[in-house]
């Protein structure tokens, strides 16, 4: 076995320079960070795709204050309906004996038109009153969903309706429901003299011609 005449030569050959060690540690840290971040990025990307495909509906904490919506006529294409739970923020003063949860009927319509729309919410003895679409130009909504505890109308008509389907399999409305939940969907819907008690409404686009908002002693 040959030995080096210079005792420092073997040490130099076996030991990396400080710069090389720092670069290697930096590369290892970057690889670890990339591996740790990959699942989170994949999850976020998956949620974006599912939301875009209508598999997930955007959720928000409701106030727990119901509001009334009425219209002379509601017409829509891409209709779906299923049950769900709406949640209030923890400690909400409106929770009462509900535990902060409200069982609701979710109505989802891909494209909707409403004539003579009225919406009102009671605020301590007075009402915030909103009207629109009452001068010949209807209110238009895309990706409309309403979370209701009561829905009524003088006439409801549906084209190609499917009743009893699993809401997670729906392809006509803009959003799907939870897996295993009873629902119905149809190509089109028309409801005359519609009246809803709602806890939430969402839309990707809402156009309200002739909008008027005021306080009133009466609701819709």
Partnered with residue 123 across adjacent β-strands are 126
Query: What is the pLDDT, as a whole number, of residue 155?
Result: 95
Is residue 177 predicted with pLDDT exceeding 60? Answer: yes
Cβ contact 189:217 at 8 Å: no
Which tokens is 40 given?
């989170």
3 CB neighbour count, 10 Å cutoff: 8
Q: Give the whole-angstrom CA distance, residue 152 versus residue 71.
A: 11
Q: Helix (H, G, I), strand (E, B), or coil: what is residue 172?
A: coil
Is residue 59 predicted with pLDDT exceeding 80? Answer: no
Mean pLDDT of the chain: 82
Mean local confidence (pLDDT), 209-213: 97
Query: What is the pLDDT, as a whole number, of residue 113?
Result: 98
State the number of CA atoms in the 13 A half-sphere of 149 facing the CB. Answer: 13
Is residue 25 predicted with pLDDT exceeding 90? Answer: no
Is residue 22 predicted with pLDDT exceeding 80? Answer: no
Which tokens is 15 given?
């030991």
Is residue 26 predicted with pLDDT exceeding 60? Answer: no
Give me the percent of the chain exceeding a pLDDT of 70: 73
Query: What is the pLDDT, as a whole number, of residue 39?
Result: 39
What tens digit of pLDDT does each residue of 110-153 get? 999 999 999 999 998 899 999 999 999 999 999 999 999 999 99
Q: Model confidence at 60, in pLDDT bands (50, 70, 90)?
A: confident
Is residue 13 predicted with pLDDT exceeding 90? Answer: no
Q: Model confidence at 20, in pLDDT bands (50, 70, 90)?
A: low
């Amino acid at each position: 076995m040959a030995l080096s005449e210079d005792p420092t030569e073997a040490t130099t050959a076996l030991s990396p320079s400080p710069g090389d060690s720092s670069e290697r540690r930096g590369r290892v840290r970057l690889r670890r960070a990339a591996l740790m971040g990959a699942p989170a990025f994949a999850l976020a990307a998956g949620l974006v795709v599912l939301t875009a495909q209508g598999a997930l509906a955007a959720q928000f904490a409701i106030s727990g204050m119901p509001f009334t919506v009425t219209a002379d006529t509601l017409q829509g294409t891409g209709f779906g309906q299923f049950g769900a739970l709406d949640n209030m923020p923890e400690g909400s003063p409106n929770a009462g004996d509900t535990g902060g949860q409200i069982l609701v009927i979710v109505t989802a319509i891909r494209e909707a038109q409403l004539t003579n729309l009225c919406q009102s919410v009671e605020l301590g003895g007075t009402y915030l009153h909103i009207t629109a679409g009452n001068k010949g130009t209807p209110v238009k909504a895309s990706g409309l969903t309403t979370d209701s505890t009561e829905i009524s109308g003088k006439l409801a008509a549906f084209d190609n309706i499917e009743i009893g389907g699993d809401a997670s399999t729906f392809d006509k409305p803009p959003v799907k429901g939870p897996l295993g939940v009873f629902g119905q969907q149809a190509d089109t819907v028309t409801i005359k003299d519609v009246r809803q008690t709602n806890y939430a409404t969402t839309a990707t686009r809402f156009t309200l011609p002739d909008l008027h908002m005021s306080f009133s002693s009466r609701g819709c």
